Structures are given as structure tokens and as C-alpha cells.
Structure 1
């Protein structure tokens, strides 16, 4: 198992085998923060999609951070990938890919992407 970084609010991931640990980490942190169980499932789905995209389309893995702000759970997924374009429509059923960000946008209350010193950050928020 990969270990959380200082403060236990972040976890790095580097290979596909780390995804189960990422999902467990996100679920545990979200539950501890007070996100209802059904919303925890949605958060885990969203983070799993983002982390999988990191491993498929970038080098060097990424970092997931989970923390609370007043009334909101915030989760950052940071990697070395290019900026993501938001506002995607759901691809056709026979499309090979392209659903990850569309799913994230549909299951989270807010999604934004920005450049940060470590690379690119996708920040998702779910109201508590």
C-alpha cells in the first residue's frame, strides 16, 4: 500500500495497482469529513476516473488531496498532464473513450481545472 503524505490529506499514485489504494483513501477521508455515503460513492467514482486518466495519458503519476472547506468537501487531482477542457458532452455509446471528464462533471457539484506549480489540477467539490 502507498502511504499518505504529511497531514494524511493527500496520497500519491504512480501505477495502475495504486488505484485501489486511491479509492480507499478517498472514501476514508470523505467519510471522516462527513460526506454522506451515497456522495462518497460519487466522489470515489470521479476520482477514479481522473486518476485513471492520469495513468493513461501522463507520466509520473499524480497526487490526490482531500480536505474540507465550510460546507464543502474538496478533492484535488494533480498531475503533469495538459489542461483539461471542461463542458464536455457525453460521447456516443459506441465511442471508444472520452467519458471520464464528462462523468466527473455530472457527478460532482463543481469541477474546475487550473495550472499549478506541480502541473495541472482538477478540483472537484461536493456539498456536505
Structure 2
């Protein structure tokens, strides 16, 4: 679903695959560390594709994003770090419906959202 909508929005090649990997990491975090229930929304605007992954339990916080690092001795636990490296913009909002992680990719790699 994400790949199809993002491709329709103009993403292609490595940038398309980077977004798909980042969304997979975000959804895995909801399933493994959140409440296991959430939503995925794809928004296509001129020049930008944004995917919102919501964890209805609201477990993910801004502190998790800020402290995301890679531990070379660990076999897992670096999904948020990967997400932030792959996407042009990553934003986290706490809403009345949980934690919403927004992952944005510009169609052109030369332009980044503000």
C-alpha cells in the first residue's frame, strides 16, 4: 500500500525504498513496543509524500526520537535511528488518539521540507 501510493506521488528508486523501509520500522515499533494497534495514513502532496503511523497506546515520545542511537553490540533497537536517517523529515506528535509519527520524503532529493 505505502509503496504504491508513494510511487503514485512521484517517489522512485532508492528514495521510494527508503520510505518503505522507514514505514516498516515504524509499524514494527507499534507492534513490538506500543499497544499493537494503530493506523497508517499516506498523504501525497505536490512534491512530498508523508506517511503517518499512529500508535493508539501513545507509547512513543519525543524523548525516544532524541535519544535514538545505534548500539553496535545490540541485535535490535535501532529502528528510530534508521527512520531518522532515511527520511527527509520525521516528526512526532502526541494526539488524543496516541502517538503519531510522520515520515516525509521529498520527491526531489534536492528539496527538503521545512
Give the TM-score range, shorter chain: 0.7 to 0.9
Q: Structure 1 length as normaliser, TM-score?
A: 0.74
Q: Which moves more between the two structures, 59-68 or 25-34?
A: 59-68
Q: What do the CA deviations read for 1:48-103 (whole angstroms, capped 9, x no partner)?
A: 00100111012242111111223211110001232332234532221243200000
Equivalent residue for 2:104?
125
Equivalent residue for 1:108?
87
Cα distance in structure 1, aligned partners of 2:27 and 2:50: 16
Equivalent residue for 1:64?
40
- Cα RMSD for the two superposed structures: 1.5
Query: Whose RCO is larger (CA < 8 A, sep 6+)?
Result: 2
Count of residue correspondences: 104
Equivalent residue for 1:83?
60
Q: Structure 2 length as normaliser, TM-score?
A: 0.82
Cα distance in structure 1, aligned partners of 2:96 and 2:11: 29
* SS of 1:53 mapped into structure 2: helix
Structure 2: tracts of 5 or more residues without a match:
108-114
Structure 1: tracts of 5 or more residues without a match:
1-24
* SS of 1:101 mapped into structure 2: helix
